[in-house]
Structure 1
């Protein structure tokens, strides 16, 4: 079974925010929530500026899953980390635990009460029936069920952001790095967040949540 992952090549990202726009539009993400965002460091410094597209990395050892007091998170057979909004209590623990700032909350009411958590689903929907209205309203479009990859990666004009089977996308990135090193450019270039989210080459594959324990599974 393929393990679905993201890689953003910082040497190709041009900070166009096409991935951000594609995600918000296709999933009808509410204002105030960004499932994906582009972060730029050393902004304006010639030769040192780097941009990276960041979202939920669907970690092999996801800290959000470890700290959630109501166990609203679960992992699919493809390694995608999803959550059940019907179980989420909006405590915000996941937002503090995530090193990528993926969990997002809307503030509601005069005292800033948190809404249900929202985050990138790797365009894989949620626990509701695939392609249902309820699934789309809560989690956005389920492109994986349609045999498609996340729209953010497909819309990247420079192919800096790639998503899919971890073996395939890591091979693509490794080939890019090898060519750069061969040409004497960007020696030792690494993918942002890869080892943090997925561990090293000896890290075992994550154990999917049994179907019987997935909220709403039939």
Structure 2
């Protein structure tokens, strides 16, 4: 299934790399992320056309037709989730595959994750089970991102 076919040069995911020390040696680690669907989305608060809405389930959705390409949301987002499309001159971001979520299915990033570490779960359940908001390579800002980290099982 092909979904969210974005233009060449546009990616809705960001890959950060960093080094950590494990057993006395430096090891490179990676963190792939997209829109954090924040509880307090700064992209929505700065958008002059009100192109962003937050759904009851927490997804932050952008109405592409309302976007005028000012880029305020790009600069406001601490996670660099909104991206300027150089062809349309409008901003785009992860949709959370809300249509799949509405149909009871998993989003494409979860389906396509080669190491199966991405999941969409109830955030309150994750918090109750000990998931954390920050990890090496990721800082939770005041936007209150909906991303959680679960310790790997040994």
TM-score normalised over the length of structure 2 = 0.76
Aligned pair partner of 1:198 in 136, 139, 144: 144
1:82 aligns with 2:61: yes
Is residue 123 of structure 1 aligned with residue 97 of structure 2? yes
Alignment partner of 1:47: what SS? strand
| Long gaps (5+) in structure 2 | 146-154
Which residue of the other structure, out of 50, 53, 75, is the alignment partner of 2:29? 50
Bigger helix share? 1
Kindly indicate whether the alpha-carbon contact (under 8 Å) linking 2:19 and 2:29 is maintained by their aligned counterparts in 1: yes
Aligned pair 1:60/2:39, yes or no?
Answer: yes
TM-score by length of 1: 0.56
Residue matched to 2:78: 99
Larger strand proportion, structure 1 or 2? 2
Describe the superposition over 1:42-84 as per-residue Cα deviations: whole angstroms up to 9, x where unpaired: 39x9534221111000111111111111111111110111111
Matched-pair contact (CA < 8 Å) for 1:94–1:103: yes
Q: How many residues align?
A: 140
Superposed CA RMSD in Å reads 2.8
Aligned to 1:151: 108
Deviation of residue 166 (structure 1)? 1.0
Give the number of the structure whose alpha-carbon radius of gyration is greater. Answer: 1
> Larger relative CO (CA 8 A, sep 6+): 1 or 2?
1
For structure 1, the 5+ residue unaligned runs are: 1-21, 109-113, 125-141, 178-188, 200-218
> Aligned pair in 2 of structure 1 residues 94, 48: CA closer, same or farther (>3 Å)?
same
| 1:128-172 deviation line (CA, Å, top 9, x unaligned) | xxxxxxxxxxxxxx2112111212123323332222321234456
